[in-house]
Amino acid sequence: MNIEQLKLQYKSELLNNVVPFWLSHSLDKEYGGYFTCLDAEGKVFDTDKFIWLQARQVWMFATLYNKVEEKKEWLDCAEHGANFLLNHGHNGDFDWYFSVDRQGAPLVDPYNIFSYTFAAMAFSALSLAANNERYGEIAKATFEKVLARKDNPKDRWDKSAGGRSLKNFALPMILCNLSLEMEHLVDPDFLKATIDTCIDEVMEVFYRPELGLVLENVTQDNQLSDTFDGRLLNPGHAIEAMWFIMDLGKRLDRPELIEKAKNIALEMVEYGWDEKYGGIFYFMDRKGAPLQQLEWDQKLWWVHLETLICMLKGYDFTGDERCKSWFEKVHEYSWKHFAGDAGGEWWGYLNRQGEVLHQLKGGKWKGCFHVPRALFQCWQVLEQLEKK
């Protein structure tokens, strides 16, 4: 593994291909905000705006400004999106819609808690970039709403009849990352309590040592559920969560937590790898039963990118050669299939055999986030490894 060469590869792809793609094609200069539905050439094929993707792009450009270089065009891009979010993204009380039309008219109510989590991340990062206290207050107000809804994430928009009450892995996982993003704005004792709760949920509730797996759903009293949702696995989610946990372990000086997270990540990537065609499955069933998700065997961009981050961090933090080997394996697959001939932003969706399924660079679920974040994270970790 040539660390210097890899570092330059990730850095160059981020700064010379991916960031320019979004700067060139995504800004709506007439109505504000960003277009995310972009075809292979970067042309807009749908103008609806999805709040969590708007917020993710604000966060990404604010973070580049904060951590790479104070480039005015990056800050301008972040504030361009933030202004649209403030004017159109919420109901006036920072309840963030799921989607709005191009002009900002609400389309889908604020049922999705991840509109809130990424809005909090966005305005937290932008408060640092722009040195603007108002952005920080918006981030804190939104963070408080997230925590208030953590036991019932869909709030009054929950369509469940209540006969089977399961809790989901996604929110405690995201809170592990969001908590560190909010650190400069939140009372330290309150933040520590929030982090401790999230770590416990991820590592002691959703990770099941008797299975060696991280589950997507458990019952309210933390038991297994032998149902479609209860058997569901999402290897990418679990692996992404483990690099969040490793970051928390580093921040809290808890090497045992880093070690446990690294080992869980290795279990999940080994379990999720497709031995026949390569790549990591999107969804799996812990008992091997047929899945309700018909896209279960697709290979998705974010799953592999999060795995690259996680394996590099595992190798950096612990020196475990298995992490290095998995990074190299996933790196080869990802650059061949997702980057390949994509140019600019990467492809998002492959079939099981590794062939591109959709000729798009962005859509309802894919925006300016996982690719640039992963390229940035890998570049930074490789730079640390180079210094060692």
- Residue 341 is predicted with a pLDDT of 82
The 10s digit of each residue's pLDDT in 29-81 is 999 999 999 999 999 999 999 999 999 999 999 999 999 999 999 999 999 99
Asked if residues 27 and 84 have their Cβ atoms less than 8 Å apart, the reply is no
CA distance 62 to 130: 8
Token pair listed for 266: 């290795």
Lowest mean pLDDT among 87-96, 110-119, 148-157, 374-383: 148-157
Q: 217 has which bridge partners?
A: 168
Whether pLDDT at 151 is above 80: yes
State the DSSP string of 128-189: HHTT-HHHHHHHHHHHHHHHHTTTSTTGGG----SSS-EEESHHHHHHHHHHHHTTTTS-HH
DSSP string, 315-367: HHHH--HHHHHHHHHHHHHHIIIIITT--SSPP-EE-TTS-B---EEE-SS--
The whole-number pLDDT of residue 1 equals 85
Segment 203-257, tens digit of pLDDT = 999 999 999 999 999 999 999 999 999 999 999 999 999 999 999 999 999 999 9
Residue 110 has pLDDT above 90, yes or no: yes
In 200-326, the DSSP E strands lie at 207-208, 213-214, 217-219, 232-233, 284-285, 299-300
Under the banding of pLDDT at 50, 70 and 90, the label for residue 159 is confident
Residue 152 has pLDDT above 90, yes or no: no
Helix (H) or strand (E) holding 65: helix 51-67
pTM for this model (two decimals): 0.97
**Averaged pLDDT, 339-368:** 95
165 pLDDT band, cuts 50/70/90, is: confident
For residue 163, pLDDT over 90 is answered with no
Average pLDDT over every residue of 164-188: 95
Query: What is the structure's pLDDT at 342?
Result: 75
pLDDT at 157 over 90: no
Which residues are within 8 A (CB) of 112 and not within 5 positions of it... i.e. 6 or more apart? 52, 98, 154
Q: What is the mean pLDDT of residues 104-119?
A: 97
Q: What sign for the dihedral angle of Cα 291, 293, 294, 298?
A: negative
Amino acid at position 108, single letter: V
Q: What SS3 state is found at 111?
A: coil
Topology (CATH) of 164-357: Glycosyltransferase (1.50.10)
Taking only the tens place, the pLDDT of each residue in 273-295 is 999 999 999 999 999 999 999 99
